[in-house]
Amino acid sequence: MASGLSLEILDLRHFAAPMLRPVLEAESAMWRERLNWDYLASAKLLLQYLDSRSLPGYVAVDAGRVTGYVFCVYEDSKAVIGDVFALPEESAHSLSMGPDGRRGAGREVEESLLQRLLELLLHSPGVDRIESQLLLHRDGEHSETFLRSGFDVYRRLYMRRSLIGTLSEARFDLAAELELRPWQDQDLNAAGRLIAEAYRDHPDSLINDQYRTVHGSQRFLQNIVRFPGCGVFSVQASHVIVDRISREPIALLLGSRVSSQCGHITQICVHPQYRRLGLARLLLRVAAMQFQRLGMTELTLTVTEANSHAVDLYQSERYEIAHSFNAAVWVRA
Ligand SMILES: CC(C)(COP(=O)(O)OP(=O)(O)OC[C@H]1O[C@@H](n2cnc3c(N)ncnc32)[C@H](O)[C@@H]1OP(=O)(O)O)[C@@H](O)C(=O)NCCC(=O)NCCS
């Protein structure tokens, strides 16, 4: 582990963004290489929080130098672990390369950081749920640390398709009572109702409890539409299908830009009464077309492996598994 004896784990709130910059830059390079994701653009909010010294978490300091960090955010009585990352050790001589091609030291420092944060959260009586999705880290990379602390761990897939060349056509022969139109800001409340309905008893509502209520789903939507945490929201790629009589959305797809070449689907769902009509396929094709028009060369999404119908749909739309990662959840007994 790093230089071993000199490694200290300290409170993140004592460190402003500039001290973490070398770590964030190394992390950013890994986001680009693994996921084609412009991490620093998405991390603007993180940098602001760091500067306001208000983010709960820890840094690893080795011989006076910050080599890693972990942080979480609180949402009422839930804590969401946002990220953990440590610099790979440069002095390779005593270190073996891990199966993922990363130096062992970076992994070990990340584990120490995670362990410290988990100890804090598990012993905080105000915290009764902890969620984490470490998108950058490969399936299994930190799962032992979570499992040892009593978490359930789920496998999620990061899927990618090319937008180069001619795309499959989006068929617009919707039933007469349905209308496809671009997302509007005022759709947010009704879209929250749709998400809560679409994810009832769904594996993803085990991973993210916001899906279980209308209010939680609206909060989830606000995060992806208004804040850059999951890429920059793309209004051009985002569409809803509404019932012309009730004016309620019955299906939606939201997209964002995660780098100058890569679009990302942050949400897709269809009301249970309107499934198997080809609506999700239509929304995916419209999004692919729109992202292609915006100059993107690839389109990505994440899906829980157990959500096999969705995985089948994506594969049939030429998405391939590019990476797999874990979601971890702990609930106080
Ligand atoms: C996944 C979901 C979006 C699919 O919506 P949909 O409009 O029913 O999907 P489509 O009608 O376009 O289906 C396209 C293909 O998906 C697969 N599929 C979708 N639902 C399926 C089911 N219940 N059983 C078997 N295959 C299914 C099939 O391959 C289907 O093609 P086919 O009808 O030609 O056989 C919808 O079930 C949903 O909202 N689920 C809950 C939210 C969710 O899981 N979102 C995805 C998160 S990553």
- The predicted-structure confidence for 132-151, as pLDDT tens digits, reads as follows 999 999 999 999 999 999 99
Q: Averaged over 186-199, what is the pLDDT?
A: 98
* Domain final position from 96, 115, 150: 150
- Confirm whether 109 is domain-assigned: yes
For the chain, give the mean pLDDT. Answer: 91
Over the stretch 27-70, which tens digit does the pLDDT of each residue have?
Answer: 999 999 999 999 887 677 788 888 888 899 999 999 999 999 99
Q: Is the pLDDT of residue 1 over 80?
A: no
Torsion 158-109-72-59 (CA) sign: negative
Terminal CA-CA length for the chain? 34
Q: Distance from the CA of 45 to the center of ligand 1, in angstroms?
A: 34
Identify whether residues 300 and 168 lie together within a single domain.
yes
Question: In terms of residues, how long is the chain?
Answer: 333
Q: What is the CATH number of the domain that holds 292?
A: 3.40.630.30
| Mutate which of 160, 212, 276, 304 for ligand 1 pocket (most atoms within 8 A of beta carbon) | 276
Check: CB of residue 179 under 8 Å from CB of residue 242: yes
Question: Quick check: CB of 32 below 6 Å from ligand 1?
Answer: no
Nearest CA to ligand 1 atom 12: 278
Using CA atoms, how far residue 190 sits from 93, 165, 252, 333, in Å, is 58, 36, 11, 33
* Domain final position from 94, 117, 150: 150
Provide the whole-model pTM: 0.93
Q: Distance from the CA of 267 to the center of ligand 1, in angstroms?
A: 13
Check: CB of residue 15 under 8 Å from CB of residue 59: yes
Residue 238: domain span: 161-323
Nearest CA to ligand 1 atom 10: 278
Q: Is the pLDDT of residue 95 over 60?
A: no
Nearest CA to ligand 1 atom 15: 313
